[in-house]
A and B are shown apart, each in its own frame.
Chain A
Amino acid sequence: MVEFATALLAVAAAFVSFGVVALYRVFAGPTIHDRVIAVNVAGTNTVIAIALVAAAFEESTFLDVALVYALLNFLLSIAFSKFNVEHGGVL
């Protein structure tokens, strides 16, 4: 069972490194929309990493943190695109 939790933590570490790779686009993106897309991807990878840590440590309360983080991530993307559109909404 120990090496099984280690495998889940290794996948979590892989998702954290993918989020760090996506941060390159946050620095180098030509437009604001590239940066928002990359921040969205990094936030999604953070949610996945939190859920994997919850499964590895058998702590189901971490899933509440993941749910709230996913909600905040969605609201950030909608708020930024709403800020950039004049009228009529973005959805």
Chain B
Amino acid sequence: MTPVEWAIVALAALGAFFGAVAAIGIVRMPDIYTRAHAASKSDTLGAVLTIAAVALALESGLSTIKAVLLVVFMFLTNPTAAHAIARAAEDQGIEPWTTDEEGER
């Protein structure tokens, strides 16, 4: 394997790791705000790393430009969407999860 192919495999494996972190966080976190945290940060990083691997794997110029556009677009929109959902939840009066009153939940 060439060094470029090693880089593609390493980027795809790191992206799959952060995708797994996002999936575990969205199932195991206790309330909406921590789930939005896991979704916005880990899933965005996994998406950017994996689509960077795709941009390296595709040979011709136009498809690489498309993949880089997809990276930039996802880097902008994914945290924005999580922010909008968390703000809508705060606007509806959903309390953040604490350990003060209910103890070890």
Residues of A within 8 A of B (CB): 4, 7-8, 11, 14-15, 18-19, 21-22, 24-25, 31, 33-34, 36-38, 40-41, 44-45, 47-48, 51-52, 54-55, 58, 60, 63-64, 66-67, 70-71, 73-74, 77-78, 80-82, 84-86, 90-91
- Residue-by-residue, is B1-40 near A (CB-CB < 8 Å gives 1, otherwise 0)? 1000100110011011001101110110000100110010
User: Which residue from A24, A41, A44 sits with its C-beta under 8 Å from B74?
Assistant: A44
Interface size bracket, B side? 35 or more
Interface residues of B (CB under 8 A from A): 1, 5, 8-9, 12-13, 15-16, 19-20, 22-24, 26-27, 32, 35-36, 39, 43-44, 46-47, 50-51, 53-54, 57-60, 62-63, 66-67, 69-70, 73-74, 77-78, 80-89, 91-92, 94
Residues of chain B with a CB closer than 8 A to A33's CB: 32, 36, 85-86, 88-89, 92, 94
CB-CB under 8 A for A37 and B88, given A15-B19, A58-B58: no
Q: Are B81 and A11 in contact (CB under 8 A)?
A: no
Q: Are B84 and A81 in contact (CB under 8 A)?
A: yes
Query: In the complex, A34 Cα to B24 Cα: how many Å?
Result: 14
